[in-house]
Amino acid sequence: MYPFERYMKVCKGYVRSERHPEGCIAECYIAEEAIEFLAELLLDDKTVGIPKEKYIVDKPTSGATVESVYGKEFQQAHLCGLQNTDEFRSYFLEHMEHLKREFPKYKKNKKWLLDKQNMTFGQWVKERVESQLAEPGCDIPEIVRWLADEPSNEVPKFSGYQIGGVQYNTKFRDDLRSTQSSGVYLVAKTPQVATARDKNLITEDMSFYGVIVEIWELDYGHFRVPIFKCDWVENQKGVRVDDLGFTLVNLNRKGYLNDSFVLGKSVEQIF
C-alpha cells in the first residue's frame, strides 16, 4: 500500500480550497499532465526515446572486411543507389525512350524494356553525364556527378550497422546472439505480371519481407552509401496471413534473386 499512500500525499498537495478538494485535485492533475506533455513535445532537452534525426549519425558497429566486387552483384548494388535517387528520374525516362528507338521491335514489350534498362542503365548514364559535362555551361548537381561515375570496386562489408538510430545486423551475426536485428520490411512500387509470358507490366505497391545477408558500404569518393543485400521471401507462396491476422513468412521460399539489394534508409526493422 505504500505507493498509494505516498501518492495521496501528492494529491493532498494539490488542494488549494478545503471547500472543494476534489476539484482542486482534478484541475491540478490535468494541468500537470498537460505541462509534461508539452515539455516533451516542444523542448529538445526534454524529449525521450530515439533522438531527432539531426542528432543521429549513420555508422558501422562492427569491423569491416574489404573485398573486391565486380560483375552482376556490383552492378545490382550500384543500380539500387541510382533508382533511389530523385535526381536520376529524368535520366531513367530518357534512357527508356532511347531503348524504344534503338529496339523498335520491343517498344511495346514493357517487361523486356525494363529488364534491358536494368542491365544497361549504369553504363549508359555514366557516358551520358560525361557528355553533358563536356558541354559549356552545364548545370549538373554534384550528387549526379559522383553517383554516375560508379563506386569503388573495393567494398567494405560489415556485420552490423546503425541507420537512423536503429541497429541492423546480418543473419550470421544474429545467429550468434540472443537478440534479433536482421529482419527487414519494405513497401515499394513494383512492376508485376500475371504470368511469365505476360508482356504488360502493372506497377503497384508491394510488401517485401527478408533478412539481411550482407551489409555493404558503397564508396563514391565524397560520400558512402550503406546498402543491404537481403534474402527476400517470395510473395506468392512464401507469405500468408493466418486466421488471427498475423503475417507468416517462409524464409526457405527465396525470391527476387536479381533484385536483392536495398538502401539501408529505405527499410523498416521487423521481428
- Domain layout of the chain by residue ranges: 2-46, 54-269
Contacts for 198 with CB less than 8 Å, ≥ 6 apart: 111
Compute the chain's Rg from CA coordinates. 26
Beta strands in the chain (DSSP E): 59-60, 65-68, 154-158, 160-163, 166-169, 183-192, 202-219, 224-233, 239-241, 247-249, 254-255, 261-263, 268-269
- Residue 270: closest CA among 243, 227, 232: 232
The three three-digit cell numbers of residue 256, written as one number: 527476387
pLDDT in tens, 79-107: 999 998 889 999 999 999 999 999 999 88
Q: Which pairs with CB-CB distance under 8 Å and at least 24 residues apart come from 200-207?
A: 200/110, 200/111, 201/110, 201/111, 201/114, 206/235, 207/235, 207/239
Q: Which pLDDT score is estimated for 123?
A: 92
Mean pLDDT of 58-73: 90
Mean pLDDT of 13-36: 90
Q: Which pLDDT score is estimated for 209?
A: 93
The number of beta carbons lying within 10 Å of the beta carbon of residue 6 is 9
pLDDT in tens, 117-176: 999 999 999 999 999 888 888 888 888 989 998 899 999 999 999 998 899 999 999 999
The three three-digit cell numbers of residue 63, written as one number: 569491423
Q: Work out the mean pLDDT of the chain and round it to a whole number.
A: 86
Q: Which pLDDT score is estimated for 189?
A: 74
Task: Give the range among 19-28, 84-93, 191-200 with minimum mean pLDDT.
Answer: 191-200
Task: Give the range among 44-48, 64-68, 187-191 with minimum mean pLDDT.
Answer: 44-48
Q: How would residue 256 be classed by pLDDT, with cut points 50, 70 and 90?
A: confident
CA atoms 45, 14, 12, 41: torsion sign: negative
